[in-house]
Amino acid sequence: MLRYILWRIAVMVPTLLLISMLVFTIIELPPGDYFESYISELRAMGEAADMEEIEALRERYGFDQPAPIRYIQWVGGMLQGDFGYSFEYQLPVSEVVGDRMWLTVLVSFVTILVTWIIAFPIGIYSATHQYSWGDYGLTFLGLLGLAVPNFILALILMYFANIWFGTSIGHLMDQKYLNEPMSWDKAKSILEHLWIPVIIIGTAGTAGMVRRLRANLLDELQKQYVVTARAKGMSPFRALVKYPLRMSLNFFISDIGSILPQIISGAEITAIVLSLETTGPMLIKALQSQDMYLAGSFLMFLAFLTVIGVLVSDIALALLDPRIRLQGGSTK
């Protein structure tokens, strides 16, 4: 088991390296750097730029050096917890970000949990009651859930919340807790606000998961061992729970790998629409003002989150299924 985990972590390293190269290329692509636009902006306002300070910053972040060296410095800095400098806020990135990253993790994690809790019973119901009205209804709902994109769902919910309750939804906590340290009241406020983004982000993932779980379980239910178990007099419920469900549980956990990028994507765009205090709104602002170190570390963080999520699901899968553990191979 330990060998499998170590091997799996070792595989993760080249993936992360490739991702970091890709992200760095994206950061580097815009012509010119932040300082040039900053200087021209100051000039346009009729102010003189403090060239000395800018030169110092340039040197500190190695803008006078060729790209490969800057890449190594960037990656090395990240490994030591230095994510670079946000030029717009004039602060190190790690200070700008604050608890936004943890809130992103929280939102994604809760969304996955809710996705599981909802998708599991519905998937089982749909598979065991194939072609019933309930199955058709749920399938149609699922298709609708897949077709309505996150941000449109967010807009619709905003509209109805305004009509029915006369309040505006949005934000992840009461505004008075914004820059305060974590406390019980703050946690309560976050929990109160959490359910709306979770519904919005989770819908598409839940719908997809129900669809795949249903297909998977249907395949399993038609296998001969189920027929044999039924023929020998096992009750339908036991014949479902004892083996086929366990088999599709495997799939259930490995499916995280395919819905996690989707959930994180959805979390970003929903956060922008609802102005949640997660990475989304800040990422888009950073991208628009070409504050590339800030944007780059956000991208890197989101990719890292996905890779870790897949890693955890793979390890859970190995714990659950001895075949994967013993082969030590990939799960796909």
In whole angstroms, how close is the CB of 179 to another protein at the nearest point?
23
If the CB atoms of residues 120 and 216 are measured against another protein, the closer one turns out to be 216
Residue 310 as a binder of another protein (CB under 8 A): the answer is yes
| Cα dihedral 192, 197, 200, 201 in deg (nearest 10) | -130
The residue among 245 and 307 lying less far from another protein, judged by its C-beta, is 307
Measured from the CB atom, is 20 or 216 closer to another protein? 20
| Binding region for another protein (CB under 8 A) out of 43-51, 172-180, 191-199, 294-302 | 294-302
Question: Residue 84 in 3-state DSSP?
Answer: coil
- Token representation of residue 8: 């799996």
SS (H, E, C) 200-241: HHHHHHHHHHHHHHHHHHHHHHCCHHHHHHHHCCCCHHHHHH
* Cα 18 versus chain centre, distance: 19
Minimum distance between the CB of residue 233 and another protein, rounded to whole angstroms?
35
List 65, 132, 183, 288, residue binding another protein (CB under 8 A): 288
Q: How far is the CB of 12 from another protein (least distance, A)?
A: 10
Does residue 303 interact with another protein by CB under 8 A? yes
Instruction: State yes or no: residue 62 binds another protein (CB under 8 A).
Output: no
Cα 142 to Cα 148: distance, rounded to the nearest angstrom: 10
Within the chain, strands assigned E span 85-86, 91-92
What is the x/- site pattern for another protein, positions 202-241, by CB under 8 A? ----------------------------------------
Contact call for residues 197 and 110 (beta carbons, < 8 A): no
In what helix (H) or strand (E) does residue 291 lie, and over which residues does it extend? none
Options 78, 93, 118, 302; binder of another protein; rule CB under 8 A:
302
- Contact between 272 and another protein (CB under 8 A)? yes
Compute the least distance from the CB of residue 288 to another protein, in Å: 6
Residue 29 in contact with another protein, rule: CB under 8 A: yes
Kindly tell me the number of DSSP H helices and DSSP E strands found in the chain: 16, 2
- Rule CB under 8 A: is residue 273 a binding residue for another protein? yes
Residue in 26, 68, 85, 65 with CA at minimum distance from that of residue 300: 26
Reduced to 3 states (helix: H, G, I; strand: E, B; else coil), residue 91 is: strand
- Nearest distance in Å: CB 79, another protein: 19
Q: Which of 107, 112, 266, 294 binds another protein (CB under 8 A)?
A: 266
Query: Which lies closer to another protein via its Cβ, residue 48 or residue 163?
Result: 163
Does 31 engage in binding with another protein (CB under 8 A)? yes
User: Is 9 a binder of another protein (CB under 8 A)?
Assistant: no
Ramachandran class of 98: left when φ > 0, alpha when ψ lies in -120 to 50, beta otherwise: left
Q: Which of 128, 139, 250, 262 binds another protein (CB under 8 A)?
A: 262
Q: Distance from CA of residue 147 to its chain's centroid?
A: 19
Task: Please check whether residue 275 is in contact with residue 225, taking contact to mean a CB–CB distance below 8 angstroms.
Answer: no
Residue 247 binding another protein, by CB under 8 A: no
Residue 59: CB atoms within 10 Å: 11
Residue choice 7, 136, 159, 225 for contact with another protein (CB under 8 A): 159
Q: Does 146 bind another protein (CB under 8 A)?
A: yes
DSSP letters, 155-213, are HHHHHHHHHHT------SS-GGGTTSPP-HHHHHHHHHHHHHHHHHHHHHHHHHHHHHH
Q: Which residues bind another protein (CB under 8 A)?
A: 14-15, 18-19, 22-23, 26, 29-31, 143-144, 146-149, 151-152, 155-156, 158-159, 162, 168, 170, 261-262, 264-266, 268-269, 272-273, 283-284, 287-288, 290, 295, 298-299, 302-303, 306-307, 310
